[in-house]
Amino acid sequence: MNPRLAAARALAAVLAGKASLAALPAQLEQVEPRDRALAQELAFGAARWQPRLALLAEKLLRKPFKAADRDIEALLLIGLYQLLYTRIPAHAAIGETVACAEQLRKPWAKALLNAVLRRVQREGEALLGALENDPVARTAHPRWLQQALAKHWPEHWEAICAANNEHPPLTLRVNRRLTSRDIYLAELEAAGIPASACRFSRDGILLGEPRDVRSLPGFAEGRISVQDEAAQLAAYLLELMPGQRVLDACCAPGGKTCHLLETEPRLAELVALDAEEKRLARVRENLDRLGLEARLIAADARATDAWWDGRRFQRILLDAPCSATGVIRRHPDIKLTRQASDIPALASLQGELLDALWPTLEVGGILLYATCSILPAENSDTIAAFLARTPGARELDIASSFVGVKPGLAQRHGRQLLPQPHGHDGFYYAKLIKIAAGPRG
């Protein structure tokens, strides 16, 4: 399959609200191996810049596309992306993209695609310049999100948007059970692979440029894993000790689960919970590659009667479902799939999870609340509401866990990490201790 066609089909499903780009691998299976990287770049790139490209297309089209023609709309976005953001020769970008309309059995679209793309070839810079006064076009973020960021982060929102539009870095986590960061950095240097130590994570390494992780020394043997630096901080903040029972709620795909076990291999037990059985398969793969063991349970964390045996945990990690607005650079289709109306429902779910899991924590135990969101409604507001209705909960200071420069920004409750160019993703943490049992435990 033509890589542009594969990218267009995957993107069309996103535009139609039927899928995310997580479905792209199914399309890639039909593409020649040598062209798969191109197909992925086109799908992700068009999604990354879609708010800007869609406004440009709107100016050049006489009328919007019908719902039945999302594939042609996606094809146009992919054509625009090639012309404006890649080094693909214009004649190839236009010719190959227009030809895909035939394969979609919509030959009527060839003339339209050709006309729009050739005009952008001639006038692209001027056309984009005319849109610069619109913050949606300037930042390439949907209006609801651009406005939310400007409201909550008036001093940072444009930098956040710029970071979201970058290609994400590749960050590694060294398995301290098998090696050390210094030793592995020396191995990378000997192999001619540029890398540097992460600023905040003691196990983190930032590669100079992304590459196939399977080609890195020791990956198959479990000496390293891929995990963003912000996510790696959970293992330190939990203050793990030998003999503890630990719950990793909402654990898939298992990066934090594995890091907890690497950080403290003498835990009494680690229970890893996720609502979806199929997502636990990925957790098991990661555990097996790293030679680790955890008890995996498929269940809704809120339904404690269905999975909890009544023995309380000393530590709980709640990496709650969220809007994922802190990891847009890794999942640019979030710009298309997430809506402002989703946020209250997510905040409600997060509160329900906190309320359900709190009774499973023993007095003196610590619950670490985490999201990859940068919206206060899911973070500091959620924690404020929980503390107000939970007399036995107190907040612990996160900054004291770090020597020198602290990651992120202190909030009313917890600490917010914003996405950093060539650094960590957007992430939020709040650390709670149970000082007394409530009516439910």
- Residues annotated as catalytic (active site), given as ranges: 372
In sequence order, the β-bridge partners of residue 318 are 249, 369
Alpha-carbon distance 264 to 261, whole Å? 5
Alpha-carbon distance 26 to 125, whole Å? 35
In sequence order, the β-bridge partners of residue 370 are 319, 429
Closest CA to 164 of 376, 429, 425: 425
Whether the Cβ atoms of residue 141 and residue 51 lie closer than 8 Å to each other: yes
Half-sphere exposure in the Cβ direction for 363 (13 Å, CA): 9
**What is the b/e burial string over 71-86, where b = at least 16 CB atoms within 10 angstroms of the residue's CB?**
bbbbbbbbbbbbbbbe
Closest CA to 60 of 85, 84, 32: 84
Closest CA to 127 of 70, 83, 62: 83
* Token pair for 327: 């990891």
In order of 132, 226, 234, 425, the CA distances from 230 in angstroms are 32, 12, 8, 6
Residue listed under structure tokens 């000393």: 314
Alpha-carbon distance 348 to 381, whole Å? 11
Please report which helix (H) or strand (E) contains residue 432, including its range: strand 427-434
* Token pair for 87: 């080094």
